[in-house]
């Protein structure tokens, strides 16, 4: 995967900066570009490999954001981080116009929880030449957690990602620009999420870099009983498990702690390969 090999180690840590008023765990903190830049700077100082900028919450129950409002939220943040910091930026959006503007402003990856399914998104992503993370979800944020059901969640997630990757390659997006994401929390019960985490190797085995986002989500709370603001340890543990199972990027809020976990995984993997 050229974009990943060129820009970051594996596993890599992606810091979440939501320029939104309503994101489930950091909503409102980074809607001001100055605050977002300060957060990005702190993440870079903590060793982050990517920052992920989002202007629309996709938490369960969230409603879509008008295009201009999403542009107004993310563009100043992208411009400031691209100007002031040396860190690859991924843009968390489903809107083709936002993808194109983000590419113009210097992002390195499109992170679309809707896998380029919106009108014009495939062409936009293709034209930018950027890496594209595609993600499985069942339903839309407004209702996806009402009654998630699968006959076999792992097979259905893999089936969707494989079909979508084939469609996008047929549409002219080279396969070496794609990343897979199983979509933790996007139309899944706690049990579904845990099956996907425990079997992550099967997703990694498909051959595309795998990006996972479990940080502070309800699956962490469901297992630990912790409220959102106390889910750092559980989130780092889940990220460590994913990295040990072969995830290429972990998308997290608690960067400093997760960078330490990533460094442990990389060190053991490198030393282990030397057969000391």
Ligand X SMILES: Nc1nc2ncc(COP(=O)(O)OP(=O)(O)O)nc2c(=O)[nH]1
Block residue for tokens 């936009």: 124
Residue 113 engages ligand X in binding (rule: CB under 6 A):
yes
Q: Is 212 exposed, middle or buried (0-12, 13-18, 19+ CB in 10 A)?
A: buried
Nearest distance in Å: CB 123, ligand X: 21
Q: Are 91 and 74 in contact (CB under 8 A)?
A: yes
Residue 211 engages ligand X in binding (rule: CB under 6 A):
yes
Residue 254 engages ligand X in binding (rule: CB under 6 A):
no
Active site residue 226: no
Distance, CA of 134 to CA of 82 (rounded, Å): 23
Block residue for tokens 């503007």: 101
Nearest distance in Å: CB 213, ligand X: 2
Active site residue 100: no
SS3 (DSSP) at 182: coil
Q: Are 133 and 90 in contact (CB under 8 A)?
A: yes
* Only segment of 21-29, 33-41, 63-71, 81-89 that touches ligand X (CB under 6 A): 21-29
Q: Which is nearer to ligand X, 206 or 276 (CB)?
A: 206
Residue 58 engages ligand X in binding (rule: CB under 6 A):
yes
Binding mask 123-152 for ligand X (x = CB under 6 A): ----------x-x-----------------
Q: Which residue is nearest to ligand X (CB)?
A: 213
Q: Which is nearer to ligand X, 192 or 251 (CB)?
A: 251
Residue 213 engages ligand X in binding (rule: CB under 6 A):
yes
Q: Measuring CA to CA, which residue among 229, 265, 267, 227 is closest to residue 246? A: 265
Of 154-183, which residues contact ligand X (CB under 6 A)? 181, 183
Q: 73, 188, 216, 251: which one is catalytic?
A: 251
Of 26-55, which residues contact ligand X (CB under 6 A)? 54
Query: Which one of residues 57, 93, 115, 258 is an interface residue with ligand X (CB under 6 A)?
Result: 57
Residue 15 engages ligand X in binding (rule: CB under 6 A):
no
Token pair, residue 41, equals 């700077």
Nearest distance in Å: CB 239, ligand X: 12
Q: Which residues of 163-172 are buried (b: 16+ CB within 10 A; e: fewer)?
A: ebbeebeeee
Q: 217, 231, 245, 266: which one is catalytic?
A: 217
Token pair, residue 240, equals 């460590």
Residue 25 engages ligand X in binding (rule: CB under 6 A):
yes
Distance, CA of 144 to CA of 122 (rounded, Å): 23
In the chain, where does DSSP find H-type helix?
Answer: 2-7, 33-45, 67-84, 96-105, 121-128, 153-170, 190-198, 200-204, 218-224, 232-244, 255-274
Residues near ligand X (CB under 6 A) are: 16, 18, 20, 23-25, 54, 57-59, 92, 111, 113, 133, 135, 181, 183-184, 211, 213, 251
Active site (catalytic) residues: 217, 251
């Amino acid at each position: 995967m050229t974009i990943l090999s060129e820009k970051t180690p594996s596993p890599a840590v992606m810091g979440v900066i939501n320029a939104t008023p309503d994101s489930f765990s950091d909503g409102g903190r980074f809607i001001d570009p100055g605050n977002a830049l300060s957060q990005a700077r702190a993440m870079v100082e903590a060793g982050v490999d990517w920052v992920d900028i989002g202007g629309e919450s996709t938490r369960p129950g969230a409603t879509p954001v008008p295009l201009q409002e999403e542009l107004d939220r993310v563009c100043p943040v992208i411009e400031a981080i691209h100007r002031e910091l040396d860190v690859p930026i991924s843009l968390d959006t489903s809107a083709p116009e936002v993808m194109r503007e983000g590419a113009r402003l210097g992002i390195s990856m499109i992170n679309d929880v809707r896998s380029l399914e919106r009108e014009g998104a495939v062409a936009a992503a293709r034209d930018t030449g950027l890496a594209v993370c595609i993600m499985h979800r069942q339903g839309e944020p407004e209702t996806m957690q009402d009654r998630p059901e699968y006959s076999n969640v792992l097979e259905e997630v893999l089936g969707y990602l494989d079909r979508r990757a084939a469609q996008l390659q047929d549409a002219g997006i080279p396969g070496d620009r794609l990343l897979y994401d199983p979509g933790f929390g996007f139309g899944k019960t706690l049990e579904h999420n845990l099956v996907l985490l425990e079997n992550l190797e099967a997703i990694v085995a498909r051959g595309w870099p795998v990006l996972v986002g479990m940080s502070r989500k309800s699956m962490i709370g469901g297992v630990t009983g912790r409220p959102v603001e106390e889910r750092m340890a559980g989130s780092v543990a889940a990220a460590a498990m994913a990295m040990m199972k072969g995830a290429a990027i972990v998308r997290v809020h608690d960067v400093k702690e997760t960078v330490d976990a990533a460094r442990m995984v990389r060190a053991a993997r490198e030393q282990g390969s030397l057969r000391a």
